[in-house]
């Protein structure tokens, strides 16, 4: 029979690189049955050795917390590979061995590839592979997957281990007296009943019960409901005991002892630091200041404020250029095309709609540049580290911080990768809470909405307003998370180790590439998705058109004004005085005509499908200060948040009164009656919190494993958003703003 070897390891440990080095072109890629996790298989052939190698998904642990972990574990248990090669990042040995320990607990023969040994050496870390091998009782072979160094030695060790054919004894670590006592009590019962024993060692099953492993619990309930209930009761007793005596819980105790075991192994001379660690030391020194308990948050706030200030002040001129360009384009369309549907589509639907979004490109670009700088230098990881303490209070997790930041926690992210980033969360409850609250962050699509309103109503305090908007989003997200964690998704938190990478001086080229990648995404979206939605919304705002009779009425009014005026013009001019009067009359006429045109445009918009929808919603939304036009924009925003700006652009240009006075949208809004600081605030609050865009909802559903959560997030978020907006508007009105 052919020997199957599983390749496992933490993400980024070099698994794919080693897999490719071992299997060359002899690979096959598919999916694991039933899930979208990729399954790669290949063959290794050399000197009569022949192995089938399966590349398992990258995981940090073997608890059934994420789909990757379930897939990896199921493969080991169901397919029973003869051996696991665990690729360990030598530069992060302690964290990486956490997974190795779990293979050993499961009793699968493990061969450790000590990869990235070159990186470790460069950092002045020397690892004694022979000693590690002796202490762990598993072969340890140093490798550099990138150059293929050590790969054949690794496979020789693997072959020797397979040939020896010894069944491995599962590693039994001590998890402290309380946990050990429960394990010792449960293991014999499990063994005696043959409970799940076809697949798993008895002590391991007991351990998984203590770790709250849903998958094993489900299997258990199906296999032997009576014993399963007994086990669960024993776990509950232990949990209560640990809670009362040490304010902790079994999962935490087990993780602590695994790390303790690893530490004690490494301490016995496995790792030595050789040369100067100046870079690491420098990082430590910087961290003493930047993550200091009181100074750290102050610096963080200053950095964020600085980022916004830099972005707004630098982008002012280029934003004006781009806006100017689109105004010119609109003017050209106005002058060159005959009145009609085509002109309306081009001007109101496309130029004003997409132009409104594209206009913010320079601002977005500067913002992305700042974010890339924070990210590439390693500062963003410090932000996550500092906020970890706060996040725990709200039932979230250190890793949630990253998901929040990716979603736009500082500014200009996107909830879609943010929701994906939540995959690194191990506990399903914290992951769900993160999935549902990450979309509250201010993604790149909400930025133009804020930028527009801030420019129109708070132009003297732009950076400060953005800091406030950011703070509101975070506080709202944390409170919502807490609310969810004490109601719909109750349960304890999981232990977590946070690593701080050393600081790096970002390269200018790297920054430019990152900035451009993100900016290009933004432009591309404006040119495709936003363009299509703008056109669709334009159609909804244009059809059905006013009936002929109504149009004729407006024409009559116009004609009557003109006739009255031309009578006056026909009289002879007798003095300079009269001439002046005449031109004043002409101006008045023009104004009256424009007023009629304005009424006509507004009547048309109101008559359209979108207008009717907006008007119908007004009966509720007036509580938050939103008129029917704003409603149209907000409904459009369910598809994508940029659409709020583009639709406001279209709505206000459809109802445009005087083409000569058409300025940027922010000026238009500032001059429109009914719009004021309070309306703007209410709209900002609503935009922060209301339903995630369509793509994000799809993603949430997929990641949470059910459409119900996608729908929940739309309803829950919109409800919160509306209540807050009403609160802002009503309080503000009562206080007399």
Burial 351-363 (b: 16+ CB within 10 A, else e): bbbbbbbbbbbbb
Range 146-185, binding ligand GDP (CB under 6 A): 146
Residues 6 or more apart whose Cβ sits within 8 Å of residue 234: 182, 185, 186, 209
- For residue 31, what are the β-bridge partners? 38
242 binds, among ligand GDP, Mg ion, none (CB under 5 to 8 A by kind): none
Residue 27 Cβ, how far from Mg ion at the closest point, in Å? 13
Contact call for residue 13 and ligand GDP (CB under 6 A): yes
Distance CA 338, CA 334 (A): 8
Residue 85 Cβ, how far from Mg ion at the closest point, in Å? 14
Distance CA 724, CA 479 (A): 13
16 or 377: CB nearest ligand GDP: 16
22 or 453: CB nearest ligand GDP: 22
3 or 16: CB nearest Mg ion: 16
Find where tokens 């440990």 sit: 13
55 or 211: CB nearest Mg ion: 55
User: Got the DSSP string for 65-131?
Assistant: TSHHHHHHHHHHHHH--SEEEEEEEGGGHHHHHHHHHHHHHHT--EEEEEE-HHHHHHTTEEE-HHH
Stretch that binds ligand GDP, among 142-150, 357-365, 380-388, 664-672 (CB under 6 A): 142-150
Sign of CA dihedral 606, 607, 610, 612: positive
Residue 7 Cβ, how far from Mg ion at the closest point, in Å? 10
9 binds, among ligand GDP, Mg ion, none (CB under 5 to 8 A by kind): ligand GDP
Contact call for residue 123 and ligand GDP (CB under 6 A): no
**Out of 3, 4, 35, 58, which residue is the one contacting ligand GDP (CB under 6 A)?**
58
Contact call for residue 116 and ligand GDP (CB under 6 A): yes
* SS3 of residue 138 by DSSP: coil
Number of residues that bind ligand GDP (CB under 6 A): 16
12 or 731: CB nearest ligand GDP: 12
Q: Closest residue (Cβ) to ligand GDP? A: 14
**Out of 144, 419, 455, 654, which residue is the one contacting ligand GDP (CB under 6 A)?**
144
**Out of 63, 102, 115, 687, which residue is the one contacting ligand GDP (CB under 6 A)?**
115
**Out of 5, 9, 410, 416, which residue is the one contacting ligand GDP (CB under 6 A)?**
9
Residue 254 Cβ, how far from ligand GDP at the closest point, in Å? 25
Distance CA 168, CA 150 (A): 24
Task: Look up residue 14 and give its DSSP letter.
Answer: S
Contact call for residue 650 and ligand GDP (CB under 6 A): no
The contacts found for 562-567 with CB under 8 angstroms, 24 or more apart, are 562/589, 562/593, 565/589
Distance CA 44, CA 26 (A): 8
Range 8-47, binding Mg ion (CB under 5 A): 16
Q: Closest residue (Cβ) to Mg ion? A: 16
Distance CA 135, CA 686 (A): 58
81 binds, among ligand GDP, Mg ion, none (CB under 5 to 8 A by kind): none
Residue 154 Cβ, how far from ligand GDP at the closest point, in Å? 12
Find where tokens 């404020």 sit: 305
Contact call for residue 17 and ligand GDP (CB under 6 A): yes
* SS3 of residue 446 by DSSP: coil
Number of residues that bind Mg ion (CB under 5 A): 1
536 binds, among Mg ion, ligand GDP, none (CB under 5 to 8 A by kind): none
14 or 139: CB nearest Mg ion: 14
**Out of 3, 16, 493, 730, which residue is the one contacting ligand GDP (CB under 6 A)?**
16
62 or 665: CB nearest ligand GDP: 62
Stretch that binds ligand GDP, among 141-149, 186-194, 383-391, 531-539 (CB under 6 A): 141-149
Residue 16 Cβ, how far from Mg ion at the closest point, in Å? 3
40 or 641: CB nearest ligand GDP: 40
* SS3 of residue 43 by DSSP: strand
Alpha-carbon distances, residue 684 vs 561, 679, 728 (angstroms): 42, 9, 10
Q: Report the chain's C-alpha Rg in angstroms.
A: 32
Do residues 538 and 349 lie in contact, with contact meaning Cβ atoms separated by under 8 Å? yes
Cα torsion through 289, 290, 292, 293, rounded to 10: 150
Does an H or E element contain 142, and which?
strand 140-142
Determine the distance from the C-alpha atom of residue 499 to the mean position of all C-alpha atoms in its chain, rounded to a whole number.
20
Stretch that binds ligand GDP, among 6-14, 316-324, 427-435, 590-598 (CB under 6 A): 6-14
| Footprint of Mg ion (CB under 5 A) | 16
Q: Where do contacts with ligand GDP occur on this chain (CB under 6 A)?
A: 9, 11-17, 58, 115-116, 118-119, 144-146
């Amino acid at each position: 029979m052919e020997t199957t070897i599983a390749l496992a390891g933490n993400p980024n440990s070099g698994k794919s690189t080693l897999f490719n080095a071992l299997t060359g072109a002899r690979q096959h890629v598919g999916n694991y049955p039933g899930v979208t996790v990729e399954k790669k298989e290949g063959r290794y052939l050399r000197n009569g050795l022949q192995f089938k190698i399966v590349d398992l998904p990258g995981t940090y642990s073997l608890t059934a917390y994420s789909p990757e972990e379930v897939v990896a574990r199921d493969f080991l248990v169901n397919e029973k590979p003869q051996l696991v090669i665990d690729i360990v990042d030598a530069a992060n040995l302690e964290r990486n061995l956490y997974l190795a320990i779990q293979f050993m607990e499961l009793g699968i023969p493990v061969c450790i590839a000590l990869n990235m040994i070159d990186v470790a050496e460069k950092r002045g870390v020397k690892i004694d592979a022979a000693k590690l091998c002796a202490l762990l009782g598993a072969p340890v072979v140093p490798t550099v997957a990138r150059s293929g160094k050590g790969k054949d030695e690794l496979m020789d060790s693997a072959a020797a281990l397979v040939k020896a054919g010894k069944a491995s004894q599962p590693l039994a670590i001590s998890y402290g007296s309380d946990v050990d006592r429960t394990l010792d009590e449960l293991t014999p019962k499990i063994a005696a009943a043959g409970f799940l024993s076809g697949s798993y060692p008895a002590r391991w099953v007991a351990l998984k019960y203590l770790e709250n492993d849903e998958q094993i619990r489900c299997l258990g309930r199906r296999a032997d409901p009576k014993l399963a209930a007994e086990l669960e009761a024993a776990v509950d007793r232990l949990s209560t005991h640990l809670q009362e005596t040490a304010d902790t819980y079994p999962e935490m105790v087990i993780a602590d002892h695994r790390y303790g075991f690893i530490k004690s192994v490494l301490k016995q001379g496995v790792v030595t630091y050789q040369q100067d660690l100046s870079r690491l030391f420098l990082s430590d020194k910087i961290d003493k200041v930047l993550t200091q308990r009181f100074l750290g948050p102050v610096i963080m706030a200053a950095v964020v404020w600085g980022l916004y200030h830099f972005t707004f002040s630098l982008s002012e001129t280029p934003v004006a250029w781009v806006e100017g360009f689109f105004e010119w384009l609109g003017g050209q369309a106005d002058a060159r095309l005959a009145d009609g549907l085509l002109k309306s589509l081009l001007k109101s639907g496309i130029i004003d709609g997409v132009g409104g979004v594209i206009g913010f490109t320079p601002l977005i670009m500067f913002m992305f540049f700042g974010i890339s700088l924070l990210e590439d230098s390693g500062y963003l990881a410090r932000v996550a580290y500092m906020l970890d303490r706060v996040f725990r209070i709200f039932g979230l997790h250190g890793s949630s911080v990253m998901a929040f930041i990716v979603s736009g926690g500082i500014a200009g992210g996107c909830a879609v990768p943010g929701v994906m980033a939540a995959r690194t969360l191990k506990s399903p409850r914290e992951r769900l809470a993160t999935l549902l609250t990450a979309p509250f962050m201010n993604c790149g699509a909400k930025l133009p909405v804020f930028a527009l309103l801030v420019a129109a109503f708070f132009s003297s305090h732009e950076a400060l307003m953005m800091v406030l908007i950011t703070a509101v989003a975070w506080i709202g997200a944390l409170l919502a998370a807490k609310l969810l964690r004490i109601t719909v998704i109750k349960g304890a938190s999981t232990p977590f180790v946070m690593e701080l990478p050393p600081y790096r001086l970002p390269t200018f080229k790297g920054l430019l590439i990152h900035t451009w990648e993100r900016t290009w995404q933004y432009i591309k979206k404006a040119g495709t998705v936003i363009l299509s939605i703008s056109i669709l919304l334009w159609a909804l705002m244009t059809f059905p058109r006013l009936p002929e009779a109504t149009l004729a009425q407006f024409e009559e009014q116009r004609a009557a004004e003109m006739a009255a005026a031309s009578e006056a013009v026909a009289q002879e001019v007798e003095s300079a005085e009269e001439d002046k009067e005449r031109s004043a009359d002409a101006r008045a006429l023009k104004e009256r005509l424009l007023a009629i045109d304005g009424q006509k445009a507004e009547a048309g918009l109101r008559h359209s499908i979108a207008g009717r929808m907006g008007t119908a919603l007004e009966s509720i939304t007036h509580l938050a200060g939103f008129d029917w036009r704003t409603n149209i924009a907000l409904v459009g925003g369910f598809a994508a948040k940029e659409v709020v700006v583009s639709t406001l652009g279209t709505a206000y240009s459809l109802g445009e009164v005087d083409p000569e006075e058409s300025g940027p949208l922010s000026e238009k809004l500032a001059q429109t009656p009914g719009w004021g600081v309070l309306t703007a605030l209410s709209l900002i609050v609503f935009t922060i919190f209301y339903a995630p865009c369509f793509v994000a909802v799809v993603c949430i559903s997929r990641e949470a494993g059910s459409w119900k959560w996608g729908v929940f997030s739309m309803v829950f978020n919109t409800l919160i958003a509306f209540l807050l907006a009403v609160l802002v508007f009503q309080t503000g009105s009562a206080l007399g703003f």
